[in-house]
Structures are given as structure tokens and as C-alpha cells.
A and B are shown apart, each in its own frame.
Chain A
Amino acid sequence: MDMELDPDEVFRDDEDDAEAEYFRERASTKELAVYLIDASPKMFLTHSPSEKHMKDESHFHITMSCILSSLKTQIISRSYDEVAICFFNTREKKNLQDLNGVFVFNVGDRESLDRPTAKFIKELSQLEEKFAKEIGSQYGIVAGSRENSLYNALWVAQALLRKGSARTADKRILLFTNEDDPFGNIKGATKTDMTRTTQQRAKDAQDLGISIELFPLSEPHKEFDLSRFYADMIGIDDDGIAEFMSAIGAKFEDMEYELKRRMIKKRIVKTLTFTIANGLAIEVNTYALVRPTVPGSTVWLDSVTNQPLKIERSFICADTGALMEEPTKRFQTYQNMNVKFSVEELSEIKRVSTAQLRLLGFKPLNCLKDYHNLRPSTFIFPTDEEVLGSTLIFVALHRSMLRLNRFAVAFYGNPSHPQLVAIVAQDEVKVAGGQVEPPGMHIIYLPYADDIRPIEEMSPENPVPRASDEQIDKAAALMKRIDLKGFSITQLSNPALQRHYAVLQALALEEDELPETKDKTLPDEEGMSRPTVVNAIDQFKHSVYGDQYEARSSAGDDNMSEASKKRKASAGNAVKECENYNWAEMAESGKLTTLTVVELKYYLTAHNLPVSGKKEDLISRIKMHLRK
């Protein structure tokens, strides 16, 4: 098989890569999660959320749709994390311990707790319809029986999470329920007993390093009451209850949004020491809230076994041909000399600051220009874990910076990439749906003078033309017409990613047809052709271009650059020349090799194919094209 192995593409420079990786997202520990979903009949009751949403929805439906969307994100971005789906209060049972009222959902030869597959997600998405038939909903805790489905569910979940060590994996149980008093219909000593054993079971799990996170689902007019049972189980004190509930957002219509946000585990990239002054340093955690998501890179496979391959790099001495360790010396040719550096010296050069993050001072916000940017920002939030008082000092500075409209300038002494940074305080922004911008500070990476180019200063005209007030007024009128009210970047999906994963999903599920995806980033043609908009644009155009615009733009087409004229001409020539050869026959008899590269390029140019590469490449490209 003819493989294009371009070493530059496939084996990108390690150093670059490490850095790119860091700014994308640091590989962190694996996450193992068990979704524990209450499937009691109460979860299937439908509620009418508000006038806006006409359709009634059940808590069960909301839960399932959140979990599905989370799994879909997970399969593309964090595919090493493992999940299990476990229902309790079910009619049927399916679990290794053979406990009643607990059903572990799975497909095929996947382990119960495993990485999500395309098939798993697909079947889970169809589960709701056939739930009643195949799994069934049934109250598991009823008076008169000593059956305790909640206890069983915790036990099953804990057993599932026995896999993997607590050191390398984050273990979570995510519990979804709308029953704030699971033992409400039990009385007396039995109730006390069941409450105690269930809480003990939860505590045992927590002692093993498993975190239990509760996702309470409130009914429209009745808030979930933590104090009845769950506060004790997950270990929240009285002060904590209000804080916990306020973090949840009680409104039914916001529930789905809030659940989704809480399901994402906050990942700390790093903990930094932020030196405010000599003798005073606080600790902050950094988070990557904004990072480009890119389609996963290709993996290399053995074409016979279809197993993934590993790429190994080895170093060979150009003189002796001997295999060697990765060399620790580098050189730079300078004034006809080879100046040698050791790797240690190179990293010593980069060690320009002893502090991780050191405050240098404050500036008014208008000193931060729009071109002072190099890469995505990093969010910081204080932590009192190691240094007590960090939060207190951080909050005080945060308030002062907001009040005085200032940002901090600091030096970020990252060993591989030391940089000057701006630290901008962000006030919390809340809307009805919840927190839009969290409170904290954003680190913005500043360019150095070496990184800024004086493009504007290259203008040959002297003095340059400027718009008149009338032209500016027309532009302003135009702006009012094409106004994106309440624009938010969260409205736009990345069309290339959408397409990429839609194709992969279809192939993974072995579907025959490739799905259609819609590019929502295109301008609103319909809106732009409204008469008021067209009129505003025309007025602006006329004020700037006069009557000349149409004439100019049609002239523009003839006014092709020299290079493109030449290209056009050579293409025309190639078509003519190309007809002089019988390509098919020559390819058949292997005579293509007798032609010169120039001749071969006639064919390629005439058929709009790339003309790059060696002679063999050109020939194989021609053969490929002829075969079609």
C-alpha cells in the first residue's frame, strides 16, 4: 500500500508537542464513574416545567438526557475514563452480587465499568422507550419487607469501583434521585436500622476514596429536603446545606443545564504559589476553562492485525552509524563556529525567575490592549489547602481590582516557558439559568516587544485618508441594522468537529449512510437581504465609494495579479500539451517513466492535480487518476 508518511507531519517535534499539550489540557488521572439512577415510579411522574416548554418531562428523562450528552462528550474528549450505568428501584435485577432492585445496564462484551463505546451510547439512548418492558420500575423500599434497594445500589456501585487503584484514578458515584426521604414509609426501629446501615455503607465507600455526589431533583413546588436523609449520608453540615442547595439552582427548567455543569469534574491543571510580596505568598489552583478542542489525531495501525502501533524514536550517530542514547548536547553554528550547549545550560537560561507567579504591580484596565494576546487564558481560583488565608487575600485583592478597574501584572516563571502575564479579575456573572462567568481571575499571556509587529506603520500613503463624519454616521446606521443582540459564543458549534465526529460515529456503528451536518457559522443570508439592511448597506457604500463601486468590482475581475495570469496561461497550455500523449496506453505499458517531469506535469496540471513530489510520486498520482 502506498502510504504517505511525512516525517514532519507524523512525528512532530517533541518539544513543540509537549507545550501544545500543556496548553490544550494536561493529561490527568483517569476517572471511574458509576451513575446510580433512581428508577422508582416517582421518577417517571411528569411535570410541566413552565409555559415555555409545552412538553411535560419526567425526572427520569432529564437524568437520562444529561447522562447521554455527557457520555457523548466523554467519548471524544476523555475516552480513557470509564463509566457504569446502574439503576435501582427496578423490577428486574442484574448485578454480580445478585441483589434485588438493582440493574446494571451494559451491552455486548463490554465490562460493566468500562470506556463508553459507540454501541453502548446508542443502546442507552434507546433504553427509555423499552425501560418498562425490560427493566421495569418498582419501589424497592416498602413497609414490611427488609429489602433496601438504596443500600444494595451503593454496594453494587462500590463493588464496580473496586477496579483500579485510588491513587491513579478518580472514583465517583453520581447519585440521581428525587426522593429526599427514601425510608419515609418505614416506621420505628426498622427505619432507624435501615438508615444507619445505609449511611454506614456510604461511609465505607467514602473511606475507600470513592466520592459520592448527590444530584437531587426537586419537584416544581417542593424543594428537595437534604436534611431528611442525604445531608448525613454525604456528610454536609447545617451551614453546608444552604450553600449546596444554592449551588444547584432549584428551578425545574434550568435543571438539565445545571446537572450537566455539575457532572463535569473540575480539573485542576496546577497549583501555583502566587507571591504577592516578599514573605507573602498565597496558593491558587489553575483551570483550563478555554482550550481549543481538536479532532483526535490518527493512530497508526498494523494493516494485518489492525492493532495500534507504537512509534519508537532512536538516535543514530551520523558518523559511526551506532545507536545511541538521546544526546544531551546541542549546538548552534555562529560565526563559522559550532557553539555547544548542554541541555542543562539551556534550561538554566530559561530559569529567569525563582517564583512561580510573582506580582509586579497593577495597571488600569485600558493598558491591556486587544493585541496583547498570544494563547488561551488560564483561570485561577484560590485554595486554602496548603496555605491558610489564601482565599481571604485573594478575595480582598479581587474586590480591590474590580473596584479600581485595574489588572495585575505578574511574571509567570513556568520553567519551560517563562512569561509576563496580565491577571484580570472577573466578577461573577449570573443569569436566571445559573452561573455564566465564575468569580476569580484570568491569566492572560502577554507578548514581549519581540512578539509584536509594527504592521500599521508600513503605510506608504502620506497622509492616509480618513472617513468623514457623514461616512462614520452611515457606518453607525449600518451597525444598528446588523446587530446581533445578545450574541454569545456558546451559540456556535465547531462545524469541522461536528462533521468529524458524526462521520466517526456513523462508521463506528457501521451505519451505511453518512449523516448530514449543518454549518451554523455561515452568515444569516435571509436577514442580510431584508430591505432595511440592504438599504443601510447601500447608503454606506454610496457614501464611501460614490457610484464607482460596481465599476470597480467588475474591473477587479480582469485585474488579476500577474502570478495568477501566468498560472492560468500555463494551465491552458498544459491542457493542449496533454492531448499529445496517450496517457492510458503509456501507463499500461509502463512507459510513463520515459517521460520527463515537465511532461508529466502537463497531465497533472491539466487535471488539476498537485504537481509536488518526486518523479515516482507524479507517476503514481497519474496512475491513480487514470484508474478512476
Chain B
Amino acid sequence: MCKDYVYDKDIEQIAKEEQGEALKLQASTSTEVSHQQYSMPGLGEKYPTWETTKPELELLGHNPRRRRIASSFTIGLRGLINLGNTCFMNCIVQALTHTPILRDFFLSDRHRCEMPSPELCLVCEMSSLFRELYSGNPSPHVPYKLLHLVWIHARHLAGYRQQDAHEFLIAALDVLHRHCKGDDAGKAASNPNHCNCIIDQIFTGGLQSDVTCQACHGVSTTIDPCWDISLDLPGSCTSFWPMSPGRESSVNGESHIPGITTLTDCLRRFTRPEHLGSSAKIKCGSCQSYQESTKQLTMNKLPVVACFHFKRFEHSAKQRRKITTYISFPLELDMTPFMASSKESRMNGQLQLPTNSGNDENKYSLFAVVNHQGTLESGHYTSFIRHHKDQWFKCDDAVITKASIKDVLDSEGYLLFYHKQVLEHESEKVKEVSTQAY
């Protein structure tokens, strides 16, 4: 009798199981549980801390040079060599590899290749990229394989020339999405509504378009999948800005300086009801005639990662130029006012943002910014990425340097990447379906 506390494995195992059962019973009453960022426990599941097995203990004992990843560590950061005007690709790669949920997916080796030939699979290459970028290797990585694969699978992008980062992003997401399903040549009509690949789970949002007939006030609604939101900027000849920027109360904590347009302003403009004019009459289903109408865009379903694209490159008949107007964007963004469900209050002309919304579902945090310096014809892309929650780094091809939040928020902004703060997970049934898909 040593009179000490003892720990018996078998009993602990039994206790764990019972505990799990108990939690399940507790949680079965609610269908949705919201949890903190980066942790997605299943309903009623308690994730225990990792405990080593005997062989692991032995192994670890033999290797005393253990390091614990601290937030001051470089692990997770790595430069990318410019292969010849490929800075646009490097920035997107940095943004994608620092997307928390995507990082978790790839680093936990969740990709199962469906492609007929794995060496052509872009998702496998992404997986390999994650491994490279998180290896802790200080020497920059050469993403030549990625370039090759992208050129093979997205022919319109192939060629040695400067390209648009946004275009690359969309093409890359498209190829990744196809390859997740093993669709090599894009033959199958990809129906995003029924796809459960990781790309769709993360990036696909639903853009709702409501067309209201002015005569009978009947509304026709369509919802389209979207991977990003492209926003017109003030000063472009195709846009028109009815509201003076910055007038409304500082909705998202953006720096409220009169005269400076904010991301929220752009979003408001994007989701405003637009009168379509007499030259664009729509055939109304109920009136059975052509009537004038108003159209409004709102978000029906918010993606986990929202990408905002400022339309800085103007290719109109009149001119081709880059709009360099500074747009202020916030570190945290609440998308509630731009949802379809908030339309009522919008119709009344107010931009309602309950200060104490209690509903954190629509809150986003900025984690990557892609910037462009230069002119329409020739320029250079750099990116800021967020690492370890509060540290920001500037990625300029092969050179990574520390940056301040101020640097990030003061930058011009071309592509903004926001990540949902709270990941809601779906009910048990749907979850099962999604895990089976891959």
C-alpha cells in the first residue's frame, strides 16, 4: 500500500467512454453549438489532450532536443522564389497556406487523392506545399511544380507574363475543387450546390439576387455560388456612389475619417437595391409583361473564408488604368447587415447593426491582404499574412519580414481574406455526409 494515487489505464478508458456518452446526451437537445475559433469539437465530444503511448515515450526520451512551438517561432513562415513574374502566384499561395481551416485540413493529412494520376493532382501539390511551408526550413521554396500544374490545368493562365492575382485565385480554387472530386478535365459539370469538397466547404458562399417587379412587387430570387465578392470602387467610371463615404456610423470599427471610403461602404454599395431602369425591363412572371424592376444583391450563405476583391484595374472602353484610392478595411468585420436576412432593415434605408448582436456567426477576422504596387501594365504583388493570431508578416516573394498591424491596415488593399471567427458545425447527419466525401 503505497498510499499514493494510482492511475489505471483500463479504468480511465471506461471513464472516458462513459463521459463521452454523458456529454452526447447533454448535447443532443441542441442542433447547433458554437465554439471558439479553431476548435471544432463534435457534438458531445470532448477532445482529450494528447497522451503518449509507450513506444512514443521511448522515442521522445531518445530525443531530448525538443522544441515547443512558441508564437515567436518562424515555423509556418517561408519565402517563395519568384519564377519569373510569378509574384501574383506567390501571394495567393501565402494567403491560402495561412488560411487556418485549410491549414488544419492539409496538415492533418485529410486529402485523399481521387485523381487518376496523383502527380497531376493540384490538391496533392497543395498538400506538399503546406508541408514545405511549415517545415521550418529558412531557405525559400521554389514552387515550380505548382506553376507547371496550374499551367496544365488552367490553360488560360499559362504563359510567361504578369498576371492578375485575383484571376489566379479563382482559377486555382476551381482546379482544386475539380481535383478534389477527381475531375481531371473539367468534364463533369461541377455543381457546387452538391459538392462537399474542402474548397466548397470553405470558400463557397451563396450570393442572393432579388429582382422586384415594380408593378406587382413580386420578387424573383436566385442564389448563385460565389467564391469572392468583387467590389467597385469610387472613381471608377462604371460605378456610381450615391452615399458620401464615411457618413454612416463607423459600423465595423474602421477608421472613420470623412472622405475615406471603407470596406463597409463598398459592401453597402454592393448590396444596395438598384433600380434597373426602363431600358432593362425584366419579364415579370406574375404580371406576364415587361416591367421595370429593382435588383438587390445580398449574401444568402456566408463562406468560412470570405475574399473581397477591389476592382482596381479598370478596363473600360474609355480608359485602362489602376484605381489607387485607399480603401480602409477593418481587422474585424461583421457581415450581418449584408445578409439576405437583413434586407428588411435595409429597405427602410437604415443600415442596422445591432451593437450587441450576440450572434457571432457573421463575424470575421482579417488574416491575409494581397497588395499591388505599380501600374496596370507592370507591377509587383506582395502580401501580408497573419500568423499566430496577432503577428503579421509581409511576404515579398522570397523575403519575409515582420510587419505591424498598422502597416497592414494602411496598405492599399487589393484582395482581402477574412476568416469566420466562429465555426458553426452542422448537425450530425450532414457532418457524416461531409466526412464521407473525402
* A joins B in a complex: no
| Chain A contact residues, CB within 8 Å of chain B | none
